[in-house]
């Protein structure tokens, strides 16, 4: 069953929270998992963005042994999940204010710089992941909470996006009983989170993770995790000509 339901929008510390929850014994789905699993992406797109059935989307979480949710697109199902799993607690992650959230969102959930994009396209081709489809999926999720970062950015667009963030947070607090809900800023660290979940506080610093600020470090570290190992193989193949050239040049210089 789902034990913890994330009701916070993207760019509210959800990446850090996924790592923190791992330390607390939870396996949480996150938007990044929909890059690696096109079946999940398809079924959640049909449910969250096209009004399709919920059961197939929910089953993908069970198939992957997830017992917690964070980020898009699962955030669009927080109310349905709360009904289905009445014993689950609900976590609303927030930023200091809507402006900080918008600034963070505006710099993320977009296609990466061209150098990184080339590697990701090759990884997508190698794993049949549909590179273009993933970023279109992210853009459609953004538009569902009234944010649009294509084209000229106007004050009207910014206000529509920040208003939607504030309205979403108010709606979560209206729908979810206060005894089931924790409003949480990752700056608060372990104490309120662990108290809410009824678990001991780990003897380690609270994780800080954001692959859009440390893309090389975090992505390449994750490639040694079993579920990402094919990505590591793909990246190795992509760079192998340069590795080979480097080795040849090194051997020549040593002579």
Q: Are 61 and 2 in contact (CB under 8 A)?
A: yes
Q: What is the pTM of this model?
A: 0.79
Alpha-carbon distance 165 to 75, whole Å? 13
Helix (H, G, I), strand (E, B) or coil at 5: strand
* Partners of 92 in the β-ladder: 183
pLDDT, one tens digit for every residue, the chain (255 residues): 999 999 999 999 999 999 999 999 999 999 878 877 889 999 999 999 999 999 999 999 999 999 999 999 999 999 999 999 999 999 999 999 999 999 988 876 555 556 565 666 666 556 556 667 777 888 899 899 999 887 788 999 999 999 999 999 999 999 999 999 999 999 999 999 999 999 999 999 999 866 454 443 444 444 444 444 444 444 445 445 544 444 455 555 555
Q: Pick from 57, 102, 94: which is nearest to 76 by CA?
A: 57
Q: Are 57 and 226 in contact (CB under 8 A)?
A: no
**DSSP strand E in 94-249: where?**
181-184
Alpha-carbon distance 182 to 193, whole Å? 8
Helix (H, G, I), strand (E, B) or coil at 90: strand
Q: Are 82 and 179 in contact (CB under 8 A)?
A: no
């Amino acid at each position: 069953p789902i034990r913890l339901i994330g009701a916070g929008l993207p760019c509210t510390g959800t990446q850090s929270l996924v790592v923190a929850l791992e330390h607390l014994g939870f396996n949480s789905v996150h938007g990044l998992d929909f890059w690696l699993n096109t079946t999940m992406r398809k079924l959640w797109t049909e449910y969250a963005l096209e009004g399709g059935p919920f059961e197939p989307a929910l089953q993908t979480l069970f198939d992957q042994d997830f017992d917690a949710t964070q980020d898009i697109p699962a955030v669009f199902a927080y109310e349905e999940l709360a009904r289905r799993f009445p014993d689950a607690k609900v976590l609303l992650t927030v930023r200091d204010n809507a402006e900080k959230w918008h600034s963070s969102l505006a710099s993320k959930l977009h296609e990466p710089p061209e150098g990184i994009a080339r590697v990701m396209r090759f990884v997508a081709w190698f794993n049949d992941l549909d590179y273009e489809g993933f970023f279109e999926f992210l853009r459609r999720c953004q538009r569902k909470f009234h944010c649009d970062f294509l084209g000229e950015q106007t004050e009207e667009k910014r206000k529509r996006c920040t208003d939607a963030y504030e309205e979403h947070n108010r709606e979560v607090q209206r729908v979810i009983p206060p005894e089931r809900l924790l409003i949480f800023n990752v700056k608060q660290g372990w104490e309120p989170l662990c108290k809410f979940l009824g678990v001991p506080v780990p003897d380690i610093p609270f994780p800080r993770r954001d692959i859009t600020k440390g893309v090389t470090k975090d992505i390449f570290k994750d490639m040694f995790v079993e579920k990402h190992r094919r990505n590591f193989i793909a990246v190795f193949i992509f760079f192998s000509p340069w590795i080979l050239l480097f080795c040849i040049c090194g051997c020549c210089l040593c002579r």
